[in-house]
Amino acid sequence: MDLGRMLVIFGGVMIAAGLVVMAMSRLGFGRLPGDISVQRGNFTFSFPIVTSIVLSLVLTIILNLALRRR
- Judged against a pLDDT cut of 70, whether residue 70 lies above it is answered with no
Number of independent structural domains in the chain = 2
**Based on the domain organization, do 40 and 70 belong to the same domain?**
yes
Terminal-residue alpha carbon distance, the chain: 38
Q: For residue 48, what are the domain limits?
A: 32-70
Query: How does residue 22 score in pLDDT terms, banded at 50, 70 and 90?
Result: confident
pTM of the entire predicted model: 0.62
21, 51: one domain: no
Same domain, 36 and 69: yes
Nearest to residue 52, comparing CAs of 66, 27, 37, 32?
A: 32
